[in-house]
Chain A
């Protein structure tokens, strides 16, 4: 599914440069649910951004679903992002003047689907996250948990191969966090590959595999016994 080989990335800071990723090797199979952990500054978000094609590596190989991701121009990156990836952010990143349904249907607009089809698919995914009744509400009228579920529905709308979640529970209380995790687990059970960046141990334990980053290298990569979120809800 995803294969990363000797990935390096550094950012210029003033005259010197900060070496953030110092040779990452990572392989993720279809159907996995991987937590990427690490303290702040460990490079976990940078790694996710590179995987998400929001940023480009300095050197190293990155192959996603058999397609080498390299030297992408903006246009190609946009197409790949749309086709392969679904993003879930800590701060939800919904468009505030669009209602829930329009937000969910937005990736489909960039896929070039007809409006009717988009709204139909959007409704289907809203139903999947249990928020069909809220389809015509603006994000400002929704709670944090609801917003994140809308964001998940949006990430799912384009039927991506890989879901990337950057601290998906970072802005939520514990109970809502577990609800979101329960839902992500459910998606994983259905076969979706999910990558979650987090620094919370309990969230990481709800994944099937934990990759720990420290100072730009993988410190530990182990399978864990998944803790089902449903027992806390």
Chain B
């Protein structure tokens, strides 16, 4: 296989028969180009949908409270529902392994000061799990941890833009920031793919916020992600039972839509997931189809090539070529043509995506591209395809009888 002379023979044969090699490569190049472009467009479509859902975990459930709208169990309408730590623990303990991550959230608005710079920001007081729910990316330092919660430490994790606004060109890590009159130590700086607003947030431990702002154990919102092993129906059933239990806990009428609101992203996601799956399958089928057509095309041409080279193969055999060397010469030629042509097709396809991609945004196609893993697997498939396409013709070639090939006609 790594015999340089064998490769020299193959290159000579390809080089001396350029038209033939080009023609056989064209089919494959075209097939791969189509495949790449289709795949890129499908990726672009699913990117558009993914963007619409921002950066939150897709298995999220948000639980919020409001005021009752109907009287129930002797209590009047207009009663305000307030979650506290006990409710949080109840949900957490009651559902065990159905929950992947869970966090409380308390919203506050503060004026933050560092030296001469001042600006107002939203603070979210959270549990450590919040990082996974919100897909926060820690750039420097660390996130809120359990010890912060236990000790109610005055620490904050600030967004990239907060650092830029207040600390100008210097690093914020380890410095103290003043939030409405109280000093907090900056222990981490994060980035977030959810956009600028998400990067203008300040996170602090939930217990710290509870102590500092009101000395109570109130919680504004509870976010959780359900166990990703649950399917869609299980996820919906889970959030429904959660709603029911909470309504009972707070003596809220089952029909009351405002007192306790549970939003499950699963129901939003299902349609999109189904569509992207169908799209993916469609692209795969079309792609495979074109690829198979390409393979059949090259196989056809290889059969023709073998026919055309019958005499040459006969001569080679008369001169002492073993069947194995005949197989490898035809097979490798096929693999080489397929691989090169396929790669050219891939490059053209990727190039087209790069070139036309940005202009397709208005057609719901965002950032159409193919991943490098796809490129690698496509290359492997190409080599295998070349081998497959060349195998039968090569086998046929190796069975040519020199006496038949050399008959004078």
Min distance, Cβ A222 to any Cβ of chain B, angstroms? 28
Interface string of A76-108 (1 = CB under 8 A from B): 001101110001011101111110000000110
Say which residue of A87, A90, A96 sits within 8 Å of B408 (CB atoms). A90
Say which residue of B16, B319, B325 sits within 8 Å of A107 (CB atoms). B319
Beyond A93-B311, A93-B315, whether A55 also contacts B320 by CB under 8 A is no
A82 lies within 8 A of B320 (CB): yes
Interface string of A164-198 (1 = CB under 8 A from B): 00000000000000000000000000000000000
B316 within 8 A of A: yes
Interface stretch (choices A109-117, A142-150, A204-212):
A109-117
Beyond A95-B312, A97-B13, A115-B5, whether A110 also contacts B406 by CB under 8 A is no
| In the complex, chain A residues whose CB is within 8 Å of the CB of B9 | 109
Cα distance A190–B320 in the bound complex, in angstroms: 24
Beyond A54-B402, A54-B403, A54-B406, whether A95 also contacts B320 by CB under 8 A is no
| In the complex, chain B residues whose CB is within 8 Å of the CB of A90 | 408
| In the complex, chain A residues whose CB is within 8 Å of the CB of B314 | 93
B401 within 8 A of A: yes
> Per DSSP, are chain B's interface residues mostly helix, strand or loop, or mixed?
helix
A158 lies within 8 A of B403 (CB): no
Say which residue of B12, B13, B16, B319 sits within 8 Å of A81 (CB atoms). B319
B169 within 8 A of A: no
A49 within 8 A of B: yes
Q: Which one of B314, B319, B324, B408 has the highest number of Cβ atoms from chain A below 10 Å of its Cβ?
A: B319
Min distance, Cβ B315 to any Cβ of chain A, angstroms? 5
Beyond A97-B13, A115-B5, whether A75 also contacts B406 by CB under 8 A is no
| In the complex, chain A residues whose CB is within 8 Å of the CB of B322 | 74-75, 78-79, 110
Cα distance A176–B199 in the bound complex, in angstroms: 92
Min distance, Cβ B399 to any Cβ of chain A, angstroms? 8
Beyond A49-B403, A154-B319, whether A110 also contacts B13 by CB under 8 A is no
Beyond A87-B318, A87-B319, A109-B5, whether A75 also contacts B13 by CB under 8 A is no
A43 within 8 A of B: no
A52 within 8 A of B: yes
Task: Give chain B interface residues in 1-23, CB to chain A under 8 Å.
Answer: 4-5, 8-9, 12-13, 16-17
Cα distance A96–B315 in the bound complex, in angstroms: 11
Interface string of A199-228 (1 = CB under 8 A from B): 000000000000000000000000000000
A97 lies within 8 A of B317 (CB): no
B401 lies within 8 A of A81 (CB): no
A54 lies within 8 A of B401 (CB): yes
Beyond A90-B408, A97-B17, whether A75 also contacts B319 by CB under 8 A is no
Cα distance A54–B4 in the bound complex, in angstroms: 29
Interface string of B313-342 (1 = CB under 8 A from A): 011111111111100000000000000000
Cα distance A74–B318 in the bound complex, in angstroms: 11
Closest B residue, CB atoms, query A49: B403
| In the complex, chain A residues whose CB is within 8 Å of the CB of B17 | 97
| In the complex, chain B residues whose CB is within 8 Å of the CB of A97 | 12-13, 16-17
Min distance, Cβ A90 to any Cβ of chain B, angstroms? 6
Beyond A54-B403, A95-B312, whether A81 also contacts B318 by CB under 8 A is yes
Beyond A79-B320, A79-B322, A81-B320, whether A95 also contacts B315 by CB under 8 A is yes
Q: Which one of B13, B311, B408 has the highest number of Cβ atoms from chain A below 10 Å of its Cβ?
A: B408
B323 lies within 8 A of A78 (CB): yes
Cα distance A93–B13 in the bound complex, in angstroms: 17
Beyond A89-B406, A90-B408, whether A110 also contacts B16 by CB under 8 A is no
Cα distance A107–B17 in the bound complex, in angstroms: 22
A78 lies within 8 A of B5 (CB): no
B16 lies within 8 A of A106 (CB): no
Q: Which one of A55, A78, A98 has the highest number of Cβ atoms from chain B below 10 Å of its Cβ?
A: A78
Task: Give chain B interface residues in 378-409, CB to chain A under 8 Å.
Answer: 398, 401-403, 406, 408
Beyond A93-B311, A97-B13, A109-B5, whether A75 also contacts B323 by CB under 8 A is yes
Task: Give chain B interface residues in 265-322, CB to chain A under 8 Å.
Answer: 311-312, 314-322
Min distance, Cβ B325 to any Cβ of chain A, angstroms? 7
Beyond A75-B324, A95-B312, whether A82 also contacts B403 by CB under 8 A is no
Task: Give chain A interface residues in 39-97, CB to chain B under 8 Å.
Answer: 49, 52, 54-55, 74-75, 78-79, 81-83, 87, 89-91, 93-97
Task: Give chain B interface residues in 191-247, CB to chain A under 8 Å.
Answer: none
Closest B residue, CB atoms, query A90: B408
| In the complex, chain A residues whose CB is within 8 Å of the CB of B315 | 93-95
Min distance, Cβ B255 to any Cβ of chain A, angstroms? 85
Cα distance A79–B9 in the bound complex, in angstroms: 20
| In the complex, chain B residues whose CB is within 8 Å of the CB of A75 | 322-324
Cα distance A82–B312 in the bound complex, in angstroms: 16
| In the complex, chain B residues whose CB is within 8 Å of the CB of A107 | 319-320
Min distance, Cβ A74 to any Cβ of chain B, angstroms? 5
- The 11 listed contacts between A and B (C-beta, < 8 Å) are A49-B403, A74-B322, A74-B398, A78-B321, A82-B320, A91-B408, A93-B318, A95-B315, A97-B13, A106-B316, A110-B320
Extra contacts, 11 of them, besides A54-B403, A97-B13 (Cβ < 8 A), are A78-B323, A79-B322, A81-B319, A87-B318, A95-B312, A109-B5, A111-B320, A115-B4, A115-B5, A115-B8, A154-B319
Task: List residues of A whose CB falls within 8 A of some B CB.
Answer: 49, 52, 54-55, 74-75, 78-79, 81-83, 87, 89-91, 93-98, 106-107, 109-111, 115, 154, 158
**Top 5 A-B residue pairs of the complex, sorted by shortest distance between their CB atoms:** A82-B320, A97-B16, A110-B320, A54-B403, A78-B322
Task: List residues of B whose CB falls within 8 A of some A CB.
Answer: 4-5, 8-9, 12-13, 16-17, 311-312, 314-325, 398, 401-403, 406, 408
